Structure 1
Amino acid sequence: MSSYIAKSAKIDTSVKIGYNVIIEEDVVIQKGTIIGNNVIIKEGSIIGENCTISDNCIIGKSPLKAKNSATTETKDLSPLILNNNVIVGACCILYKGTKISNDVFIGDLATIREDVEIGEHTIIGKGATIENKSKIGSYVKIETEAYVTAISTIEDYCFIAPGVTFTNDQFLGRTEKRKTLFKGPTIKKGARIGANATILPGIIIGEDALVGAGSVVTKNLEPKKIYVGVPAREIRNVPIEELLENQTYFHP
């Protein structure tokens, strides 16, 4: 099993590279990084110091556009950027035009689309999907198999439990009007969403709000309140000891 490394790639001598790796033109890989087996790093990708890219990943992939896709654009994209100390699990696909900040952890089988920004110290769980044009803050935790739809925003210190689903199309694929109105949810700082909850298009969930497991959120939610049910309804305030400002890991 042999690897291919383009002559124009700039790779620090300390970088460890596994078997059967393809590194295309103008890739930059900085010191201390480890590249697993069967990894493909696409043209122009920039990988910082002390990163780990596990087996069978594709880094810097260009998006493909279906004829009827409403959110994928045909345009030139900037190179994918992984900053320092990023860990990428096995079999992940990270797209071109995305920027991932320092100390981010990405679990096995995750997919992160183009035009996405992810802040420092964020965790993306196994099999999670972050669709295009989404912005994820710092110190966010997005757990296993969560789905963040295109054009969503998750602010700092939010918690998204396993199986949560965001939506962005209130017309469910019908009418041309929908193409001008696509918008995923906006989750404000410190908000938490329980397992298997569904968030409807364009919804704003207030700071430090809590959405219970299995809930369906159909309207904007106020800060520091707990909501449960289908549709989600307010039941009480978030306990004082659970507020973000009272957590030891919070850095205002």
Structure 2
Amino acid sequence: MSTYIDDQAIIGENVVIGHNCIIEKNVKIGSNVTIGHNVIIYEGSTIEENCQIHDNVVIGKKPMRAKRSILKEQKDFKPAIIGRGSTIGTNAIIYTEAVLGSEVFVADLATIREKVTIGTQTIIGRGVAIENECRIGARCKIETNAYITAFSSIGNDVFVAPCVVTSNDNYMGRTEKRFKEFRGCIIEDGGRVGANATLLPGLKVEKEGVVGAGSVATKQVESEWIVVGTPARKLRKVDAEQLLKS
């Protein structure tokens, strides 16, 4: 097994690179980085110092576009950036134009699409899918198999439990109207969403709002309120001791 490193790649000190890796032109790898086996790092990508990149990771992948896709074709992409001290788990895929802050943890099998930003010390769980053009804040936990739909925004200190589903298509339509109605979900600072909950398109969870496990949230969740059920309705206020300020 052989490893290919382009002559124009910049490799820092104390970098360990496994077998059968491909590191393309103008890739920048900081010092004290460990790269596992079978890793592909596409042209221009940056991995800052003290990162761990596990086996079979792909960084800087360009998106594919189906013939019937509503997304406009794009030819020029900015490089992916992995912030210092971050960990990328086995078989994770980080697309081009994704920007990860420092000390981000991405677990095995996660997918982070193009034009996604992730704040410092955020944890992205196993099998999580974050679609294109999402913003994820700092110190969040997005847990196993959660799905964050395209065009969503998540603030700081947000908790998203396993198997949460967000959505952005109001119509499931067959006409051109649907193209103008895509709206991602918004979860503001300190928001929490329980396991297997579903958020409908464009829904906002205001600061410190909580959506109970298994609920279907169809209306805006007010700040510091807990909502439960299908459709979700107000249950009670969040206990004061559970607020971030406490």
1:74, CA displacement in angstroms? 2.1
Corresponding residue for 2:163?
163
Structure 1's consecutive aligned runs of 4 or more residues displaced over 6 angstroms after TM superposition are none
Aligned pairs (5 A) from 1:91-240: 91-240=91-240
1:73, CA displacement in angstroms? 4.2
Residue pair 2:138, 2:156 contacting (<8 A) in 1 also:
yes
**Count of residue correspondences:** 246
String of CA shifts for 1:102-145, please: whole Å, max 9, x gaps. 01000000000000000001000000000000000001100000
Distance 1:43-1:181 versus aligned 2 partners, 3 A rule = same
Corresponding residue for 2:2?
2
* % identity of equivalent residues: 50
Distance 1:73-1:138 versus aligned 2 partners, 3 A rule = farther
Residue pair 1:48, 1:82 contacting (<8 A) in 2 also:
yes
String of CA shifts for 1:143-165, please: whole Å, max 9, x gaps. 00000000000000000000000
**Partner amino acid for 1:168?**
N
Corresponding residue for 1:250?
none
Q: Quick one: distance in 2 between partners of 1:59 and 1:173? A: 34
3-state SS of paired residue (1:245):
coil
Q: Quick one: distance in 1 between partners of 2:75 and 2:119? A: 24
1:75, CA displacement in angstroms? 3.8
> TM-score, normalized by length of structure 1?
0.96
> TM-score, normalized by length of structure 2?
0.98
String of CA shifts for 1:5-57, please: whole Å, max 9, x gaps. 10110001311000111101110000001000000000110110000000001
Residue pair 2:65, 2:71 contacting (<8 A) in 1 also:
no
3-state SS of paired residue (2:94):
strand
Structure 2 gaps of 5+ residues are: none
Structure 1 gaps of 5+ residues are: 247-252
Q: Quick one: distance in 2 between partners of 1:72 and 1:223? A: 36
Corresponding residue for 2:88?
88
